[in-house]
Structure 1
Amino acid sequence: MHHADVDIENFHCEWNAGLFEAVINASFGIKAADSAFKFRNCIHEIADKEDYRVDMTSKQPTGEVGMHLNHSIWSVRKGENVFSDPNCPNGLSDFGRCWLAGLMEHARALTAFWCPTENCYKRLHLPRKPGTIDWDFDNRLSSVKVKVDNENRGVYLENRIPSGMTNPYLTLAATIAAGLDGVLKGLECPPPRPELTSDNLPSATALPSSLSEALHALEADNDMVNILGKDLVDWFVLLKSQEVNMRKEPSNG
């Protein structure tokens, strides 16, 4: 991977049998998506040569596969992480709160990009997996986790919604579109996720439970359609709707 210019920080076993996690070092701009794309293709080719099979399908018999997107925004002029402000509560800047508000505002629509297959929705709404549109500081149960690394990277966001089958380029574009919309409009960030109890869980807004539901939410989100481009959204919805309909059609066999 290093020879392919994919900077792997570490590679380790995860919770379930046969499940591994690769952590790719942070990089600026499109290189992050390039690295994720290269990794996914390289790992398949390497495994095939060694007579192994790598499966990144979201829901599997032994567990679930996600692609957590960790990101922050940096000022080119100042060379600073603009999500960080030591004068704000928990170090999350006003810019960062507006960006996070954009992710919360458009999460239902953007789940279509983050979770682009029917199987992806078998991973959502499970224990310890994303199911509601919420965030919190370093809370493993929240859909978006705000992480504070004062010594190195400052504040950054971990979006836990994307699945192992997501297109990293579309995931990156959708994230930037939602975040910028929150910043430009000065959206107010909702409060962080409360402690998970049976009393407060029903009041939270749920993520889509199917690809069809997510596609309808994307089409109805005029802001995301306009920012990402109507042509892109129309073609994406058309392609994914055809996939959904093919799965519904009875087989001739």
Structure 2
Amino acid sequence: MIEDYLKDPKSRFATVAMTDTNGLLRGQMVSVKGLASMVKSGMPMAPAQLALDPTDEVLVVPGVSDDDGDFRDGMLTLDPSTARKLPWSKEGHDLLVLSQFGDENSDICPRAILSNVLERAKAMGVVPFYGLELEYTLFDETELSAKAKGYRGLKTATLHKSHDLLAYQIQQTGWYENVANMCEALGISLSKMHEEIGGGFMECCVEAGSGMEPADQVVLLKNFLRVLAAREDKTITYMPRWSEEADSQSMHLHVSLLDNDGTPLFYDADQPHNMSDTFRHFIGGLQKHTRDLSLVFLPTVNSYRRFAPGTFAPPALTWGYENRTTCFRVVGHSPNSLRVENRLAGADVNPYLNVAATLAAGLDGVENKIEPLDEVVGSGFGLGGVPDFARSMPEAIELLRQSEIAAPWLGERFADCFATARESQFDAFRSKVPDVELERFFGLG
């Protein structure tokens, strides 16, 4: 597509984008002449982009945005296979190309990290096959009206809880159709959309696949859903818990493994639930290592509010067959459908890092033949003596720093930089006095 675009006399500009640690696309419009050069030589971009919070607050990343950082440019490598058309731009201005850092900054670049994990899986003789589900809440508010209300008392797109309620889905058919049209233009393969368990609460599912494509598509989906909402004078949030009344919002990941010939590796007709030894060891790796990687799956101060009592978030790092009260839900019954669903990550997670961390934990389990604990039958809530994830951001930060799995799979520099950046986020919020504390304690004896 890039070559055709470069040859087309109507082409004027293209957008080159990279993904920051939050999952936000950042990039620049470049001339067609500049694009031709960048395809061969790369595009300069400051790695300080990887130190930004979603609102462009600069977090501390060692060697990048701390006292030793000089804010110089790094070099992005363009991925021509990701070229697609922007849905609302005029012809000649509508090419989008994804990229990642290809120099020393690749150590902390989410897309590059997932690429490395996929290469390691290939060296093991396995091909991860995965798909993602993205939850969000849609509001009949603009960003300005939501801010004017202090983000309280907002009007959700539907009034009541509406899990799979057809009446609300039909009522919002215009939104669903516009999402589908946007995704078609962007080359996003939607498999399902539906109402979820709260007012305005919705879910989009991207078809499973291999390589970078499913994660690329969810990054695009997450960014452009917000653009679509703004174009319709609406807004959305991916906060795991945006109000006391809202249920938790997540990004579930479904994973299976194939061999190089495409044969499913998770299926064994002679084993309980048809789970092969490879599948069982993948679950064992998830159970053993996910706690250390909690910060990757739960990357913001809001992430941990998702697990308040009464929400439908995972209660612990347990597994079970078709059991949504466990973190690792085994799904399917045939060779091509059997898979595990990792239900831990919040909707605020970076899709690349969600996939990379899940694969790192599971593949290490396969390499080292780690056995899981017994499956949970019945409700997984209120169980004792089971492995748990970090329940606070400080705990998650220290676990990542001390992790035995993060450095060899995701990179030592990534673990240090991600933990330090999130620590600076936590420190900034630690100095705030929330409204709820004023309401409860201002008049305290």
Interval containing the TM-score (normalised by the shorter chain): over 0.9
Q: Among residues 370, 385, 396, which one is paired with 1:214 in the alignment?
A: 396
Q: Does 1:67 align with 2:247?
A: no
> Displacement of 1:116 after TM fit?
0.5
The one-character-per-residue Cα deviations of 1:157-196 (angstroms, maximum 9, x if unpaired) are 1111010000011111111111111111111121112433
Aligned mates of 1:43, 1:91 — CA distance in 2? 38
Q: Does 1:144 align with 2:328?
A: yes
1:133–1:202 Cα change, 3 Å:
same
Q: Among residues 75, 83, 86, which one is paired with 2:269 in the alignment?
A: 86
Does the 8 Å CA contact 2:273/2:333 hold for their aligned counterparts? no
> What does residue 302 of structure 2 align with?
119
> What does residue 201 of structure 2 align with?
19
Give percent identity, aligned residues only: 26
Does the 8 Å CA contact 1:83/1:154 hold for their aligned counterparts? no
Structure 1 length as normaliser, TM-score?
0.93
Does the 8 Å CA contact 2:318/2:386 hold for their aligned counterparts? yes
Structure of greater Rg: 2
Q: Among residues 240, 260, 263, which one is paired with 1:76 in the alignment?
A: 260
> Displacement of 1:223 after TM fit?
2.6
The one-character-per-residue Cα deviations of 1:131-163 (angstroms, maximum 9, x if unpaired) are 21100000010111000142x733101111010
Aligned mates of 2:233, 2:395 — CA distance in 1? 38
Aligned mates of 1:29, 1:224 — CA distance in 2? 21
Amino acid in structure 2 at the alignment position of 1:70: H
The one-character-per-residue Cα deviations of 1:4-62 (angstroms, maximum 9, x if unpaired) are 11111111111111100111111112111101100000100010111100101000223
Other structure's SS at 2:367 match: helix
Structure 2 length as normaliser, TM-score?
0.54
Q: Does 1:28 align with 2:210?
A: yes
Amino acid in structure 2 at the alignment position of 1:148: G
Higher-RCO chain (CA-CA 8 Å, sequence separation at least 6): 1
Q: Does 1:163 align with 2:346?
A: yes
Amino acid in structure 1 at the alignment position of 2:387: T
Q: Does 1:106 align with 2:292?
A: no
Other structure's SS at 2:185 match: coil
Aligned mates of 2:268, 2:374 — CA distance in 1? 18
Aligned mates of 1:108, 1:194 — CA distance in 2? 22
Aligned mates of 2:320, 2:432 — CA distance in 1? 43
Q: Among residues 1, 18, 43, which one is paired with 2:225 in the alignment?
A: 43
> What does residue 245 of structure 1 align with?
427
1:126–1:82 Cα change, 3 Å:
farther
Alignment coverage as a number of residue pairs = 248
Amino acid in structure 2 at the alignment position of 1:232: F
> Displacement of 1:125 after TM fit?
5.0
> What does residue 154 of structure 1 align with?
337
> What does residue 357 of structure 2 align with?
174
> What does residue 318 of structure 2 align with?
134
Amino acid in structure 1 at the alignment position of 2:239: T
> What does residue 236 of structure 1 align with?
418
Aligned mates of 1:124, 1:9 — CA distance in 2? 28
